[in-house]
Amino acid sequence: MAGSIAWNETSIAIAGVKLHLARAGKGRPLVVLHHDTGTLDRLPFYDALAERFDVLVPHHPGYGKSERPQWLRHPRDIAVMYRWLLSELDVALPVLVGLGFGGWVAAEMATASPRDVGALALVGAMGVKPPQGDILDQALMSYMDYVKAGFHQQSAMDSVYGAEPSTDQLVEWDVCREMSFRIAWKPYMYSQTLPHLLGGVKAKALVVHGDDDRVVPRSAAEVYAKGLANAKLEIVKGCGHYVEMEKPKELAALVTALAGGN
Amino acid sequence: MHLMYFTEQPMSAYDSKKGLDFGATALMFSNSNFDPVAGSRLYNEYIEQYKLAEKVNFDGIMLNEHHNAPFCMQAKANVFAAVLAAVTERVKIVMLGNPLPLADNPLRLAEELAMIDMISRGRLVSGFVRGGGQEQLATGVNPAYNRERFEEAHDLIVRAWTQPGPFRFEGTHYQHRVVNPWAVPLQKPYPRVWIPGVVSRETIIWAAQQRYPYIALNTSIEATKKIWETYEQAAQEVGYTSGPENRGYLQRVHVAETEEKAVANARQFMWMQGEFTGLAHPVWSSPSGYFSPTQRRSFVEFATGRAVSPRGRPDFQQQLNDMQIIAGTPKTVIPKLRRILEETRPGIMALWANDGTVSHEDSKTCIRLLGEEVLPALRETGAKLGLNSPFDNNAPVGIKYSTDLRKPAAAAS
């Protein structure tokens, strides 16, 4: 399956900032919002989704191949930029799939325009203060240790990034980390207002959490599941924070079950 | 020359083995290892040592600030500056310096510094620093805006000192609807500002653009010369020629009555394994966004152990050989210090004399010998080499107060 999908890469100016966008597949529009560690260009999870959906994978402003807006101060600003992007592309009722930090962005997008959400999948989502435990502080860890903490199994990390991630990859993680600090330093990786706004989202929602997620405590997933009007909580066994990299088929199946596809 | 005494104020009364076992003692090494009884004793010993430094003719006492670490007990340099303002009479109180980005309210710093200047009857030198990476993490301040906050806080403080209030300040990181502090500095236009640093090229250039002296912190002779080249180039670009009054140098030097004792005590400069600012975890000392983007690739390689520290980690003997550390009797250290002066040509010289577990008595002996025997020799050399300090030359406090600027080449033509 991986590799057979043709991805189209473009750059689109939003708010004066060039955003990188990869797009493939046909069907219901589905936007994947990546982690605070950026994303690889290709992942089996993306390909699996592109079999059934019109998949859009933007790089967050300031991450990966997207330019950094010096003025950007909060993940909510990213959400608004993405609403602008989708408007430019004439994409309505998107399925939003938010991974980790991208889950926060997805939740902000959903709460800002609750009627313009096809379905919402939040996977190990940051963005709310966990009632128990804390979101792992990457400021105190090396790049590799932070990513390592997101995998249940080292072998899964090795198969995605290689046993020795390249220096280019380390540089990319550093760029991502700097951007995350710029916009989510304090309070670290959550919003104090978002939990109060979740109730407006009536779209079908799925909150997914790896049972060995050491980056975001499960209690954060429970806040989302309780706060969203129409949400189910799904725990993925034998899995860490990076559900899409560790259990790509399972997550693609969950998203397809949620949103149907073409 | 302006000759200053410096110590990091080490909190050495803890189980150093625990620190070494933990690894990086700056930031996350538990404060349960801190003993306030020893802390109280040490603070008071340091005050006594500073008073002695004044008595034996040092021109200034250099203070600094760090957080969450045993290598420096000053969590707030302004507290010690306030103490010195009251218990000393002549020495300059040289703060190198207040970490501006850590301040969420720079006006409060402006007020504290103004009070110190008035209480000391105009003896304050108000240096500013960016603060190390650990300091940002220890105080919850965003490292990614460190340099922006540094420059903006500086501008706010200088305006608060020089522009009659009330006025409004609307910056990117600081917004103050009413700026009108009633405490303003005694020295006019404002106390001298000196900028210490180690490696950051941007800071050297910024200091030169402000016409603030740059104090090189125990950098190698070669690195120091490069710093002056960078400084001079930036100075030329804004229309002046830099000289010794723009240059400061910090040197580690311990003096005792015998060579053996001096060398034994100087080993204490290595008590943090020779790390300049405690045992630093690279990710904590340089959080993402804190360092220059031009250094990103080399930094990530260093942080993951794929490259050696850009500063290296020479052992004690190597540091003695390279005169990064100088130790001996006054007779043997004087020629070495002269050589440092000849090579680095500073108008401001700080002597970092005691570190680690050097006893109170030995610290005092060191200060006395420096004052009585070493300082006169350095003054003589400084005079011969024309190493005038900003005070000797009555140098302008900052670029705005310069009366000798050349027009930039482009504008002149």
Name the pLDDT band for A46 (thresholds 50, 70, 90). Answer: very high
> Do B174 and B212 sit in the same domain of this protein?
no
> Do B342 and B262 sit in the same domain of this protein?
yes
Domain contains A163: yes
pLDDT tens for each residue of B220-263: 999 999 999 999 999 999 999 999 999 999 999 999 999 999 99
Does pLDDT of B204 surpass 90? Answer: yes
> Domain of B149: which CATH number?
3.20.20.30
CA distance B84 to chain A (A): 36
Mean pLDDT confidence for A232-261: 96
> Do B123 and B268 sit in the same domain of this protein?
no
For chain A, the distance separating the N- and C-terminal CA atoms, rounded to the nearest angstrom, is 17
Rounded to 5°, the CA angle A58-A8-A90 comes to: 60
A219 burial level (CB within 10 Å; 0-12, 13-18, 19+): middle
> Which of B140, B143, B300 is opposite residue A174, by nearest beta carbon?
B300
Domain contains A251: yes
In B, minimum Cα distance to A145 occurs at B304
Alpha-carbon Rg for chain A, nearest whole angstrom, is 16
> Do B328 and B186 sit in the same domain of this protein?
no
**For A8, how many CA atoms within 13 A lie in the half-sphere containing its CB?**
9
Amino acid B302: pLDDT: 84
Cα distances (angstroms) measured from residue A12 to each of A25, A33, A95, A258, B305: 19, 16, 20, 29, 38
Query: Range with the lowest mean pLDDT among A25-34, A224-233, B15-24, B330-339?
Result: B15-24
Domain contains A249: yes
Residue with tokens 């993490």, as numbered in its chain: B137
Does pLDDT of A242 surpass 70? Answer: yes
- Integer Cα distance of A223 and A183 in angstroms: 22
Amino acid B202: pLDDT: 94
Domain contains A1: no
> Mutate which of A161, A181, A189 to disrupt the B interface (most B C-beta within 10 Å)?
A181
- Token digits of residue A222: 């429970």
> Mutate which of B104, B173, B288, B297 to disrupt the A interface (most A C-beta within 10 Å)?
B288
> Do B167 and B56 sit in the same domain of this protein?
yes
- Nearest CA-CA partner of A143 in A127, A122, A157: A157
Does pLDDT of B215 surpass 80? Answer: yes
Amino acid B301: pLDDT: 87
Contact A143 B300 (CB under 8 A): yes
Chain B residues with CB within 8 Å of chain A CB: 28, 137, 140, 142-145, 282-284, 287-289, 296-297, 299-301, 303-304, 306
> Do B17 and B156 sit in the same domain of this protein?
yes
Amino acid B314: pLDDT: 86
Amino acid A6: pLDDT: 94
pLDDT tens for each residue of A171-226: 999 999 999 999 999 999 999 999 999 999 999 999 999 999 999 999 999 999 99
Does pLDDT of B275 surpass 80? Answer: no
Cα distances (angstroms) measured from residue A179 to each of A67, A145, B148, B264: 11, 18, 15, 47
Q: Which domain holds residue B149?
A: 2-193
> Mutate which of B134, B300, B302 to disrupt the A interface (most A C-beta within 10 Å)?
B300
> Do B163 and B248 sit in the same domain of this protein?
no
Chain A residues with CB within 8 Å of chain B CB: 139-144, 167, 170-171, 173-175, 177-178, 181-182, 185-186
> Do B116 and B208 sit in the same domain of this protein?
no
Q: Which domain holds residue A216?
A: 8-259
pLDDT tens for each residue of B14-61: 888 888 888 888 899 999 999 999 999 999 999 999 999 999 999 999
Question: What ipTM describes this predicted complex?
Answer: 0.95
Beta bridge partners of A12: A19
Does pLDDT of B408 surpass 70? Answer: no
Domain contains B394: yes
Contacts of B137 in chain A (CB under 8 A): 139-140
Bond preceding residue B408 cis, omega within 30 of 0: no
The proportion of chain A whose per-residue pLDDT surpasses 70, expressed as a percent, equals 98
Amino acid B129: pLDDT: 97
Domain contains B22: yes
**B162, B193, B224: which is the final residue of a domain?**
B193
CA distance A176 to chain B (A): 9
In A, minimum Cα distance to B144 occurs at A182
Mean pLDDT confidence for A220-234: 98
CA distance B380 to chain A (A): 49
> Which of A141, A167, A185 is opposite residue B306, by nearest beta carbon?
A167
Contacts of residue B335, defined as CB under 8 A and 6 or more positions apart, other chains included, come to: none
Domain contains B296: no
Mean pLDDT confidence for A16-22: 98
Domain contains B305: no
Domains identified in chain B, total number:
2
Residue with tokens 């404060």, as numbered in its chain: B31
> Do B218 and B356 sit in the same domain of this protein?
yes
> Which of A167, A171, A178 is opposite residue B289, by nearest beta carbon?
A178
> Do B222 and B330 sit in the same domain of this protein?
yes
Domain contains B66: yes
pLDDT tens for each residue of B107-116: 999 999 999 9
Amino acid B279: pLDDT: 76
Q: Beta strand pairing status for A53-58 and A17-24?
A: antiparallel
Amino acid B52: pLDDT: 98
- Token digits of residue B392: 């000797």
Contacts of B301 in chain A (CB under 8 A): 167, 170
Domain contains B301: no
pLDDT tens for each residue of B281-313: 889 989 999 988 888 998 888 888 888 766 667
CA distance A168 to chain B (A): 8
Domains identified in chain A, total number:
1
CA distance A228 to chain B (A): 31
> Do B131 and B20 sit in the same domain of this protein?
yes
Mean pLDDT confidence for A140-157: 96
- Integer Cα distance of B376 and B334 in angstroms: 10
Domain contains B289: no
CA distance B308 to chain A (A): 15
> Which of B137, B296, B301 is opposite residue A139, by nearest beta carbon?
B137
Does pLDDT of B413 surpass 50? Answer: no
Domain contains A240: yes
CA distance B178 to chain A (A): 25
Contact A139 B296 (CB under 8 A): no
Beta bridge partners of B214: B195, B247
Beta bridge partners of B354: B7
Name the pLDDT band for B412 (thresholds 50, 70, 90). Answer: very low
Q: What is the DSSP letter of A19?
A: E
> Domain of A25: which CATH number?
3.40.50.1820
The proportion of chain A whose per-residue pLDDT surpasses 90, expressed as a percent, equals 97
Domain contains A2: no
- Nearest CA-CA partner of B91 in B122, B113, B112: B122
Contact B289 A181 (CB under 8 A): yes
Neighbours of B334 (CB within 10 A): 20
Does pLDDT of B276 surpass 70? Answer: no
Q: Is B230 left (phi over 0), alpha (psi -120 to 50) or beta?
A: alpha
pLDDT tens for each residue of A50-79: 999 999 999 999 999 999 999 999 999 999
Tell me what the pLDDT averaged over chain B comes to.
94
Contacts of residue B76, defined as CB under 8 A and 6 or more positions apart, other chains included, come to: B65
Residue with tokens 């980390």, as numbered in its chain: A177
> Which of B288, B297, B306 is opposite residue A181, by nearest beta carbon?
B288
In A, minimum Cα distance to B283 occurs at A142
**B152, B175, B193: which is the final residue of a domain?**
B193
Backbone dihedral angles phi then psi of residue A215, each to the nearest 5 degrees: -95, -45
Contact B303 A139 (CB under 8 A): no
At A118 the three-state DSSP class reads coil
Q: What is the DSSP letter of A213?
A: -
Does pLDDT of B136 surpass 90? Answer: yes
**B158, B175, B193: which is the final residue of a domain?**
B193
> Do B31 and B74 sit in the same domain of this protein?
yes
Mean pLDDT confidence for A162-179: 96
SS (H, E, C) chain B: CEEEEEECCCCCCCCHHHHHHHCCCCCCCCHHHCCHHHHHHHHHHHHHHHHHHHHCCCCEEEECCCCCCCCCCCCCHHHHHHHHHHHCCCCEEEEEEEEHHHCCCHHHHHHHHHHHHHHCCCCEEEEEECCCHHHHHHHCCCHHHHHHHHHHHHHHHHHHHHCCCCEEEECCCCEEEEECCCCCCCCCCCCECCEEECCCHHHHHHHHHHCCCEEEECCCHHHHHHHHHHHHHHHHHHCCCCCHHHEEEEEEEEECCCHHHHHHHHHHHHCCCCCECECCCHHHHCCCCCCCHHHHHHHHHHHCCCCCCCCCCCCHHHHHHCCCEEEECHHHHHHHHHHHHHHHCCCEEEEEEECCCCCHHHHHHHHHHHHHHHHHHHHHHHHHHCCCCHHHHCCCCCHHHCCCCCCCHHHHC
pLDDT tens for each residue of B322-332: 999 999 999 99
Tell me what the pLDDT averaged over chain A comes to.
97
- Token digits of residue B280: 């630093």
- Token digits of residue B295: 């250094």
> Which of A144, A173, A182 is opposite residue B289, by nearest beta carbon?
A182
- Integer Cα distance of A240 and A238 in angstroms: 7
Contact B137 A140 (CB under 8 A): yes
Domain contains B384: yes
